[in-house]
Amino acid sequence: MNYLFSLFDSWPFIVKLNLILSILFFSLAIWLIGSVYYIRYTKTIMNIKRRELEKTLLDFISSYLFDENFDKSSELTKLKKTHINTEFNLKITIKQLLIFNENLKGASTEILKELFMFLGLYEYVVSDLKSRAWEKKARALHVFSQLYIKAPEEVISPLINDQRLEVRQQAVLYILNLSETNPLEFLNTLQDELTLWQQIYMEHSLKNSFKGEIPNFSQWTSHPMSSVVRFSIRMMSEFNQFQNIPILMTLIDHNEESVRKAAIHSLSKMGHIDLIPKLISKFKNETPVIKKEILKTINHIGSYNHLLALEVKEITENKSLYTYYSSLEQYFKSTLSIKLNMGDLTVKEAS
């Protein structure tokens, strides 16, 4: 050994450095290769365990739901003791229940809720709701929302204004899915703007899933979040809340352009013809965006005379606006020409 050290000491510095670096890189390569194989081996083992657990759960849940001779109490105790004993297994179990829930209806879904409780999954998911990790909170909200299981109100309420958008969106889904009355009450405490995705889902839920009484959307026309105001304005026309027309008429003078545009669009969709004179008087002092919305309104519920009442000078200054005005003018003229020709034809036939 001393001889080897003596020999090593006698080598030039560059040879020593090359030898040390070679040994270092060789060791690093061996470590990397070993790590890759270890990760692949671990992943393979985990996949095998996952498949075995999924098969066990599939057989158990199927028997629990549909086998009348199945000993639920003893088999449930056995399953909890032997399989539902790690966080990995808990996640797989929840996933399997969600898969069953997607494909079942009626009494079977109620049994799945019962099974969810018996397996101790409720406490586990609630603990995720209280976690600091946003992905755990979002996943927990999704689980409760899909299974229609109510979580503690004091835990849900703060999540409406969570700093993560993903959590806020899942909180909205949860509330809409589980609300029996006042599905949009959470808007009163909302501190962030609604995303387009949230608005689409809220509208879809109100139209297709919610069975209770649709709220009067006028209660949110003074909300500090402009997206909430615009959403409420749009829903007034979607749900034909004609009693709110006076409120909408005041909103066409709102200081925010997007709110004025939403109010004009909803009133137009509701066919409120008294809107036109008000818009004509406002046209000169409005922004190009609102001017185009006024032209669209005249196209929808107005007439050629309403179009002629506008000041063309205010239109020619904006190329896009003038192009739309010209096409609208041609449309009205062609429509008027067809009506006049049909009138002449009627007169000739009568004579």
Where is pLDDT greater, at 275 or 12? 275
Answer whether residue 104 shows pLDDT above 70: yes
Answer whether residue 36 shows pLDDT above 90: no
- Residue-level pLDDT at 219: 95
Mean pLDDT of the residues in the chain: 87
The span from the CA of 262 to the CA of 274, in Å, is 17
Reduced DSSP (H G I as helix, E B as strand, rest coil) percent helix, strand, coil of the chain, to 5: 80, 0, 20
Q: How far apart are the first and last CA of the chain?
A: 130
At 175, phi and psi to the nearest 5? -65, -45
What band does 211 get if pLDDT is binned at 50, 70 and 90? confident
- Residue-level pLDDT at 85: 82
- Residue-level pLDDT at 135: 94
The span from the CA of 56 to the CA of 61, in Å, is 9
Contact (Cβ atoms closer than 8 angstroms) between residue 263 and residue 248:
yes
Residues 73-85 have pLDDT tens digits of: 888 888 888 888 8
| DSSP conformation letters of 298-320 | HHHH--HHHHHTS-THHHHTSHH
- Residue-level pLDDT at 182: 87
Contact (Cβ atoms closer than 8 angstroms) between residue 142 and residue 170:
yes
- Residue-level pLDDT at 124: 93
Residues 163-189 have pLDDT tens digits of: 999 999 999 999 998 988 889 999 999
Q: Which amino acid is at 252?
A: I
Average pLDDT over residues 78-96: 88
What pTM value is reported for the model?
0.78
- Residue-level pLDDT at 338: 56
Which range is least confidently modeled, 16-25, 56-65, 69-78, 236-245?
16-25
Residues 118-141 have pLDDT tens digits of: 998 999 999 999 999 999 999 999
- The SS3 assignment for 11 reads coil
